[in-house]
């Protein structure tokens, strides 16, 4: 396998190591509920 980097071209005979990244994404969502709110409140 040939790898092209900033420092030139290099021929590698073994597999390169895998680097894994984990990330958390904030997802904001608006939900519309079409029911009477009084059904959920205590009187």
pLDDT at 28: 92
Walk along the chain (43 residues) and give the pLDDT tens digit of each residue: 788 888 888 887 777 788 899 999 999 999 888 888 877 787 7
3-state secondary structure the chain: CEEEECCEEEECCCCCCCCCCCCCCCCCCCCCCCCCHHHCCCC
pLDDT at 26: 92
Whole-model pTM above 0.85? no
pLDDT at 22: 93
pLDDT at 24: 93
For the chain, helix (H) and strand (E) counts, in that order, are 0, 2
Query: Does residue 3 contact residue 9 with C-beta atoms inside 8 Å?
Result: yes
What's the rounded Cα separation, in Å, for the pair 25 and 19?
19
pLDDT at 2: 81
């Amino acid at each position: 396998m040939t790898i092209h980097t900033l420092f030139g071209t290099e021929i590698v005979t073994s597999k390169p190591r895998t680097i894994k990244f984990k990330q958390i994404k904030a997802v904001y969502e608006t939900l519309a509920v079409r029911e009477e709110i009084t059904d959920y409140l205590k009187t």
